[in-house]
Amino acid sequence: MQWKDQGIIIALKRLGEDKIVATLLTSAHGRHMGVTRLSKKAEQVFHLGNLCEATWQARLPEHLGTWRLENIHSAFAMTFQNPIRLEALATACALIDAILPEREHQEEIFHIFQKFTYNLAQENWAWFLVDLELTLLKYAGIALDFSTCVATGSKQDLTFISPRTGRAVSKIAGSPYQDRLLKLPPCLTESKRHEISLSSKELLAVLELNEYFLNRYLFGLHGLKLPAARERFKNRLARQTYILRPE
pLDDT digit string (tens) for 215-243? Answer: 998 998 888 999 999 999 999 998 874 44
The dotted CATH code for 2-75 is 2.40.50.140
Dihedral in degrees, nearest 10, Cα atoms 36, 62, 7, 120: -90
Domain covering 78-148+157-239: architecture = Up-down Bundle (1.20)
- CATH 1.20.1440.120 range(s) for the chain read 78-148+157-239
* pLDDT score recorded for residue 42: 66
- CATH 2.40.50.140 range(s) for the chain read 2-75
- Dist. CA 32–CA 26, nearest whole Å: 7
When pLDDT is averaged across residues 20-47 and rounded to a whole number, the result is 89
Ordered strands of the 168-170 beta sheet? 168-170, 158-161, 182-183
C-beta of residue 130 within 8 angstroms of C-beta of residue 230? no
- Dist. CA 37–CA 23, nearest whole Å: 14
> Which range has the worst mean pLDDT, 9-18, 32-41, 68-77, 113-122?
32-41
**pLDDT tens profile 150-168:** 999 999 999 999 999 999 9
Q: What pTM was estimated for this model as a whole?
A: 0.92
Rounded (10°) angle between helices 125-139 and 83-99: 10
